[in-house]
Amino acid sequence: MTAASSTAQRHEIEVFLTLAEELHFGRTGERLGISQGRVSQTVQRLERRFGLLLFQRTSRRVAITPAGARFR
């Protein structure tokens, strides 16, 4: 594992854990100093990597899935 990939993975985990706490993409982005879109892209990348749905999203709410809770 390269230093760059290790840093990227730490960032992904930080985004995941913050979103699991906030349950809001906008607030997660604000806390981490990144855009809401970047939060969404990061979570999608994690979900693709693990083949799991980590969060259930609707236009009004975000909830952690059982798989996401285990990952947490």
For residue 1, what pLDDT band results from cuts at 50, 70 and 90? low
Q: Does domain 3-71 have CATH number 1.10.10.10?
A: yes
In terms of C-beta distances under 8 Å and separation of at least 24 residues, what long-range contacts does 15-19 make, across chains too?
A: 15/39, 15/42, 15/43, 16/42, 16/43, 16/46, 16/54, 16/68, 16/71, 16/72, 17/72, 19/43, 19/55, 19/62
Domain ranges of the chain: 3-71
For residue 72, what pLDDT band results from cuts at 50, 70 and 90? confident
Q: What is the pTM of this model?
A: 0.88
For residue 26, what pLDDT band results from cuts at 50, 70 and 90? very high
The stretch 13-25 carries a mean pLDDT of: 97
pLDDT surpassing 80 at residue 38: yes
Q: Which residues pair with 56 in a beta bridge?
A: 63
